[in-house]
Structure 1
Amino acid sequence: MGYALQAVIAGAGVLSVASRQVPGTRVVPLGQGLSLMPMTDEVFDAVTDGSDGRDLGFWRLPGGFDTLLAQWSTAGPIAYVEAEYFGGVGEQRAAVWADGALALGPLDEPTKRRFRGPRRGTGPG
């Protein structure tokens, strides 16, 4: 079993306003005041400017979308996240923009082995 995720995460108000600028977006509430906007093919096509978009190392960040994320972040912090896992092996990457600039990341976490649960003696005591 596996999964793939490419999405924007931000405060509900930030994404509600931002999503009005992009055709085909859907905003999904996550709780704790956060929402998620999936990076669908339609959204990808609407926000890409045709450039490579791999400057930050993401595999599906549309070219030029980082500029739009920076603009949106003037209203509140906003993150772009990607993850892909299959059989416990995969990778994830995230970056956060705030106040109009890249504030954190990109951070990545490759996983090269299956997670088998906590080692003995590391659980709650």
Structure 2
Amino acid sequence: MYCLKAVIVTESARSRLLDSVEGARFVSLGQNLSLMPVTETRFDTGLLAKCSEHGAVAYVEAEYFGGVGTQAAQVWESGETVLGPLHLAEDEPTPAYGSPISRALRRLSVRKGAHFDEFDAVGLGRHRGTGDWLSA
């Protein structure tokens, strides 16, 4: 089982989000990005748009079980949506240009290098359950 619901921010937007979200916790992903869990069922897109005035911000979610699942992503920059919202349904093949999360990470300047894709390049596979890595 893989379940991820998180905000990914550039370093320049991180402090703004820290100031705006009480109890915010971040995990470094490398490539000047940080991951913040979204534990509530809803998140404030207005806040994410506002924080993006200081640097790019992405909301990502993925749910997989047995290799089958869904992905979604959206990216804000300079207060505006610049990508998405993107969705990949359970029965849809991943497009040649990448999954929603990889496309969002690419928009945040992630370079995949020798990795399979941007998702792999920042090690999102390490964060299989939001609750698990948040308590670690």
The residue type paired with residue 20 of structure 1 is D
CA displacement at 1:109 relative to structure 2:
1.3
AA of the residue aligned to 1:18:
L
Q: Which amino acid aligns with 1:109?
A: L
Amino acid of the structure 1 residue aligned with 2:66: G
Give how far 1:31 is off: 0.4
Q: Count matched residues.
A: 93
* TM-score normalized by the length of structure 1: 0.68
Tell me the alpha carbon deviations over residues 12-33 of structure 1, each in whole angstroms, 9 at most, x when there is no partner. 2312331222112101100011
Question: Is the Cα contact below 8 Å between 2:16 and 2:54 reproduced in 1?
Answer: no
Seq. identity, %: 49
CA deviations over 1:75-108 (Å, ceiling 9, x no partner): 0110001110001111000000011111110111
For the aligned residue pairs, the C-alpha RMSD in angstroms reads: 1.8
Q: Structure 1: any 5+ residue segments left out of the alignment?
A: 45-59, 114-125
Instruction: Return the structure number with greater strand share.
Output: 1
**1:38 deviation in Å?**
0.6
Gap regions ≥5 residues in structure 2: 93-136
Rg: which structure is higher?
Answer: 1
What is the TM-score of this pair, normalised by structure 2? 0.63
User: In the alignment, residue 10 of structure 1 is paired with which amino acid?
Assistant: V
Residue 81 of structure 2 aligns with which residue? 102
Q: Partners of 2:83 and 2:36 in 1: how far apart? A: 19
- The answer to which structure has the higher helix fraction is 2
The one-letter code of the counterpart of 1:9 is I
What is the distance in 1 between the residues matched to 2:29 and 2:60?
Answer: 14
For 1:74, the equivalent position in structure 2 comes to: 53
Q: Deviations over 1:31-84 (max 9, x none)?
A: 0111100112xxx3xxxxxxxxxxxxxxx443xx11111100100110001110
